[in-house]
Amino acid sequence: MVARLVIAGVLLAVVVCAPPATSLSGGPEGPPLRVWAQQRPARIVSTSPSITEVLFALGLGGRVVGVSSYCRYPEQVTALPDVGSFLRPSTELIARLRPDLVIVNRASNDVARQLAALRLPAIAVDEARSLASIYAMVRGIGRAAGIADRADALVAELQARLDRVRAGAGGRPPRKVLIVVSRSAGGLSDLVAVGRGSYLHELVGVAGGVNVLDDPGLPSYPRISMETVIRLAPDVIVDAADMGDTVEEHVRRQPVTEALWRRQTSVAAARTGGVHAVTSDAFVVPGPRMVEAAETLAGWLRDAGR
């Protein structure tokens, strides 16, 4: 589903919900952040997978009392109360959980205003298009939860791990990469792929590849045809479009998806074994596990050169 992938914006914004307020200075990621919540919230509701994964990576998993319908990692979140989709979370369900901090996506309909009317403390983060905006989200959530130092440490760790992936890919000829995030069910039409304005585009470069859709004239997620795929001749194709709701479904669908591509003998990557169906949603959740996606992609690109 493209909606869970399209991560937009760099800045963090905060929705005014209830006093007292604590002002926190801004940084290069965005304007000053103002949090209407206690400094150490004990009951946190997350409304998107990326927010949930950041909370757990920060060691706040024990404080999370509600998550979105799409949250599946880590596994224990599947047992938590479901507050609805990240675009349309239910303020009624959220209120029942008595949270002292709600973290919502700015694109989440009118939920921020509704939470304010209920006087529920909340911050709203913009969707993340870039690595920089993911780091900004981590820092903003950390500040809102009163653990800014821990958030800074997590960002430094993520950056260091990506630097190691980049260094490991150095010296190898860059491989051409196409990442598909949506297509027709059971077919290879209506393809939607990753363009320049996406954190996945950046991860391709970190892993030692070149995005075949690195064109400033294209949208972040352009729709392309199979004829375009053949013309671009990627060395590696990453198909993240046919994942199920569980890891088991991801794994079950992997051989089916790869077989679908292998039948496209005019596609270079299909002929050389360079098609990889994603089995981990680390590729589609812009959070701390993006490093795992970069490491996996780097391995695929290394194998493509053999």
Q: What are 97-148's pLDDT values in tens digits?
A: 999 999 998 877 688 888 988 999 999 887 788 999 999 999 999 999 999 9
Q: Per-residue pLDDT tens for 19-43?
A: 333 333 333 343 333 444 456 899 9
pLDDT at 127: 75
Indicate the pLDDT class of residue 287, thresholds 50, 70 and 90: very high
User: Could you check whether the bond before residue 81 is cis, i.e. omega within 30 degrees of 0?
Assistant: no
CB 35 within 8 A of CB 148: no
| pLDDT score for 126 | 79
pLDDT at position 182 over 70:
yes
pLDDT at res. 13: 30
What's the whole-number mean pLDDT along residues 169-181?
94
pLDDT on residue 188: 95
User: Taking CA 133 as the corner, what is the angle to CA 128 and CA 134, rounded to the nearest 5 degrees?
Assistant: 75
In the chain, the domains with their CATH numbers are 2-160 (3.40.50.1980), 172-304 (3.40.50.1980)
